[in-house]
Structure 1
Amino acid sequence: MKKISVSALFAVVLLPLAAQTVSNSFHDIDMVQLARTSGKESSYVIGDNSQSYTAVRYVEPFEINKYETTYALWFRTRVEAEKRGYAFANPGQEGSAGRRGRFPTDAGSLQPVTMISWYDAVVWCNALSEIEGRTPCYTYKGKVLRDSSDTAACDLAVCDWDADGYRLPTETEWEYAARVMKTGFQRGDYASGQEDDSLKGDVRVKSEQTVAWLDINTNMTRTVGTAGTVFTPDAPPAAGSGNANGAGLYDMSGNVLEFCWDWFADYTEQEKGKRAAGPDYGSQRVSRGGSWSPYTAFIFAGDRYSYDPNEVYNYMGFRICSSR
């Protein structure tokens, strides 16, 4: 199948951004390669300094998007996916205060999508993969997931970890991406990016407000990649102009809570040679990173949340990952 860029495919769909700007380097799909150490797997301790239980995790090389999934990207992908037979229980919303399913606005299209369920997110990942000529990761009984209202199929779906399609990160991958630095890993009881290994002494740890949109510096979602900037209505900061974490990723703490693949459970030791992706069954899925909302104010890199995969909130979104 010929690879088609979803950005190019829908270049005519989005209006010019009058009230919103972007940095020269911003692209809403901008994958960062992680966990590559001379071609071998990397390891770290998940839950370190943040949970009462920890475990060693071995991480295969993967890519993860610099940015949370924007409403613009969600919308244009959903529109094309529905033409191809995909179905979504929830149309999505532009940030925390947008209107569900509406055309992206000039001011908010680069805020994260919210008001979508975990089921919507995994089906959407399959749709984006198909549109871009990649192999979808999520299947049930050999069939690609295409309908997020078929929750039984989504609950029992398997992930093809060798496929080149887009998917949700595992909890192991997510915390790795949130804590890895140029040399080692930051503590789990800091916001992602709060500890900077390029600095020394007391200045090594920055204020959490410089790396995250949280309940003490905003009362709503903000444009992706702008944490640490000064927001004014007349001159909103450019997407991608804020402070990244040690891996070069934005908003791993704050802005919106992010879905992971795993069913929620206590950490257990990883079986050597087997990917750490949580238990096979459960009732709630893992979410990470906290958000702008006081309901999810725990934004440290090691903090964990669990949600029914059918729930939708205006503080919950996701970012994409790939095994490539």
Structure 2
Amino acid sequence: MRLHLPVCLFAAASLSAAAAPTSVTCRIVDYGCDMGDGYYRGMSQTSQTNVQYDVDGDGITSDDSIGFWAFSLTNPLNPPGLEFDLDAPSARFYGGMTIMFSNRTGAAFTEGMLNKNHELRDDCNFMCTPGAPLPNWRAYGLWVWLKQDFMNGGESNAVSFGPDSMIVPHVSRFYRGITDGRWVARDNDQFYISQATFEQYSTNIGRASGTHTSYILYPTQTLWAVYNPAEPCWVAFDAATASFAPHTFTNVTAVGFYLGRHRFSTSSLELKWHSFECHATVTRGESPAYHIPMSSVPAGSIGGQPVPQVFIAATEAPYALWKRVWKQFTSNQRPMDLQKPGYSFDKDGDMGSMDYGSEGHGPFEPATDMTWLDAVAWCNALSELEGLTPCYCADPALSTVFRRVKEREQIALFNTMPNVYVNWNANGFRLPTPLEWQNAAGADHTSYRTYTTYRTYNGGKTQPVGSGATNAFGLFNMGDNVWEYTWDTGTNFFDPAIHTNRIVLGGSFQGSAAPAVAANGVGEWPAEGHYAIGLRPVRSS
């Protein structure tokens, strides 16, 4: 794949401020990644307690026992780190688990950790297989994610449930001994629990075991009961005594799910879950993007050809954002029945010019060293993160989101390059066309540095995005730092057999000379990854 650099305009400038509030349906929780392993709260056993409770109702408390991971909304239930990835999306969750034995001491769950070696995904367990003498026993578990860790602005703006909202845990292995599975949400300071149960809403009701199932709840379609879990271990819910009624959630501050084994029994309890998503309505300041600042560029004309108005990122996509999105969406550990599989990229991306020279680099330098198709797919992933419709599809009918740059599940397709089709009516992120990019660059060359000046300024390496001056549209580094990919096919599709050349625009920390074959020793063509090529997403206005 060769690289073409047509004559282009250079520039760089300031951001327009966001204004009136708008409501966006998007992910507020997205737990599920290569999490690693570890015990809940770093404890290999539930706490053995002196809590006195008559488990079996015989009027005697001394012959019964309770063990638990204490219910808490301040001490996370997830493993504390070490081998658990606390930097993964929605990695921190709260709640508690309680087990109650009758006529036997030493109540404890059999397991209380993530298993990273039982299946392809790292799952959390809710398990007890007690040995002889077998007690009659009950068990309850609650897992919740708090507002302080919500995504997409949910952590600092009002969150509500609308008709498109969903709460979705995924049971990945086993479903034995469970008598109650429900969804939980907190409105202001009050918890509520759903009348709907997992089996009622199962998308795979034919699988009687309930395993390998995403339990999807649309919270506006069920009744809710007040639920008051309390420290140290009281998370049990009794549906027989509850009063269910309609409830409108206007200030969601926590979401999660509940599992109960309320029936007194000696049989085993076995369940593992590996992912959880919640989509809700976030009311926040209106802006074309939440994760990267964007400016509006009015319609114009380049060479007599009309150019539409677009929103364009004020900076190149920084590596920190690239990696966050890349990591979140390459995971296949997600609620499977939502039919939104993970992405498969060709490359991981780099921090600026880290493959060039020996200078240090940081996460706020532009993301580089991705292929052109990686950049296309990443725009789709960013769209999905923000609750927008992706622009790029894998089929001409525009029915399948383009997610797989490198096909790793079908060996025969591993070395093939996919076709891509554009849905110009979608509201998601995409690469600018060359005309859109040149229109955004404008005619102001005053901020463009010559090779000699810029080399002196930047020390011969990429700089953090947003460095230097801006152009009239508030855009930084349109003529320096790194070259930028464009959607350059001139059509609404990409066919690797036809579109063999790529166009990048702008300039780099090395000046306006064309990017050469990558200087990282592995013989790549520039459009297949280069230390001086990045991307700047746009959205149609």
TM-score scaled to structure 1, two decimals? 0.62
Question: 1:3 Cα deviation (Å)?
Answer: 2.0
Which of 147, 151, 159 matches 1:9?
151
2:490 pairs with 1:250: no
Choose 1 or 2 for highest CA Rg: 2
Question: 1:144 Cα deviation (Å)?
Answer: 1.1
Question: 1:282 Cα deviation (Å)?
Answer: 1.9
2:319 pairs with 1:78: no
Cα RMSD between the aligned structures?
A: 3.5
Instruction: List aligned pairs for 1:292-307, cutoff 5 A.
Output: 292-293=509-510, 296-297=512-513
After alignment, is 67-76 or 152-161 more displaced?
Answer: 152-161
Secondary structure, in 3 states, of the residue corresponding to 1:248? Answer: coil
Question: 1:208 Cα deviation (Å)?
Answer: 3.2
Question: 1:169 Cα deviation (Å)?
Answer: 0.3
Residues 69 and 213 of structure 1: CA distance in aligned 2, closer, same or farther (over 3 Å): farther
Instruction: List aligned pairs for 1:87-98, cutoff 5 A.
Output: 87-97=344-354
Instruction: List aligned pairs for 1:111-130, cutoff 5 A.
Output: 111-130=365-384
Question: 1:83 Cα deviation (Å)?
Answer: 2.1
Which of 111, 132, 138 matches 2:392?
138
Instruction: List aligned pairs for 1:114-263, cutoff 5 A.
Output: 114-141=368-395, 142-150=399-407, 156-179=419-442, 186=443, 193-194=444-445, 206=446, 208-209=448-449, 214-218=454-458, 219-227=460-468, 243-263=469-489
Q: Higher strand fraction: Structure 1 or Structure 2?
A: 2
* Deviation sequence 1:184-241 (CA, Å, 0-9, x none): xx2xxxxxx42xxxxxxxxxxx4633999844533110011112xxxxxxxxxxxxxx
Question: 1:131 Cα deviation (Å)?
Answer: 1.1
Secondary structure, in 3 states, of the residue corresponding to 1:255? Answer: coil
* Deviation sequence 1:103-148 (CA, Å, 0-9, x none): xx9x611100011110110111111101110000001213211112
Which of 307, 312, 317 matches 1:64?
312
Map of 1:284 onto structure 2 = 501
**Contact 1:285–1:309 (Cα < 8 Å) also in 2:** no
Structure 1 Cα separation of the partners of residues 308 and 532 of structure 2:
30
Count of residues paired in the alignment? 231
**Contact 2:394–2:421 (Cα < 8 Å) also in 1:** yes
**Contact 1:71–1:95 (Cα < 8 Å) also in 2:** yes
Question: 1:75 Cα deviation (Å)?
Answer: 0.8
Structure 2 Cα separation of the partners of residues 83 and 2 of structure 1:
22
Structure 2 Cα separation of the partners of residues 217 and 10 of structure 1:
35
2:294 pairs with 1:31: yes
**Contact 2:422–2:493 (Cα < 8 Å) also in 1:** no
Task: Specify every segment of 5 or more residues in structure 2 that has no aligned partner in the other structure, as ranges.
Answer: 1-23, 29-88, 90-148, 154-289, 333-341, 408-413, 516-523
Question: 1:309 Cα deviation (Å)?
Answer: 7.6
Structure 1 Cα separation of the partners of residues 311 and 422 of structure 2:
16
**Contact 2:428–2:539 (Cα < 8 Å) also in 1:** yes
After alignment, is 79-88 or 247-256 more displaced?
Answer: 79-88
**Contact 2:447–2:471 (Cα < 8 Å) also in 1:** no
Map of 2:69 onto structure 1 = none
Residues 214 and 253 of structure 1: CA distance in aligned 2, closer, same or farther (over 3 Å): same
Structure 1 Cα separation of the partners of residues 450 and 330 of structure 2:
39
One-letter code of the match for 1:282? H
Task: Specify every segment of 5 or more residues in structure 1 that has no aligned partner in the other structure, as ranges.
Answer: 12-26, 37-41, 46-55, 100-104, 180-185, 187-192, 195-205, 228-242, 264-274, 300-306
**Contact 2:421–2:494 (Cα < 8 Å) also in 1:** no
Structure 1 Cα separation of the partners of residues 525 and 434 of structure 2:
16
**Contact 1:126–1:165 (Cα < 8 Å) also in 2:** yes
One-letter code of the match for 2:534? G
Question: 1:321 Cα deviation (Å)?
Answer: 0.4
One-letter code of the match for 2:302? Y
**Contact 1:213–1:251 (Cα < 8 Å) also in 2:** no
Question: 1:310 Cα deviation (Å)?
Answer: 5.0
* Deviation sequence 1:127-174 (CA, Å, 0-9, x none): 110111000000121321111225998653111111100000000100
Structure 1 Cα separation of the partners of residues 393 and 453 of structure 2:
35
Residues 9 and 143 of structure 1: CA distance in aligned 2, closer, same or farther (over 3 Å): same
**Contact 1:119–1:309 (Cα < 8 Å) also in 2:** no
The answer to which structure, 1 or 2, has the higher relative contact order (CA under 8 A, 6+ apart) is: 1
Structure 1 Cα separation of the partners of residues 364 and 526 of structure 2:
24
Residues 213 and 132 of structure 1: CA distance in aligned 2, closer, same or farther (over 3 Å): farther
One-letter code of the match for 1:96? S
**Contact 1:284–1:309 (Cα < 8 Å) also in 2:** no
**Contact 1:214–1:297 (Cα < 8 Å) also in 2:** no
Residues 32 and 153 of structure 1: CA distance in aligned 2, closer, same or farther (over 3 Å): farther
Residues 277 and 66 of structure 1: CA distance in aligned 2, closer, same or farther (over 3 Å): farther
Question: 1:2 Cα deviation (Å)?
Answer: 2.3
2:301 pairs with 1:43: yes
One-letter code of the match for 2:323? F
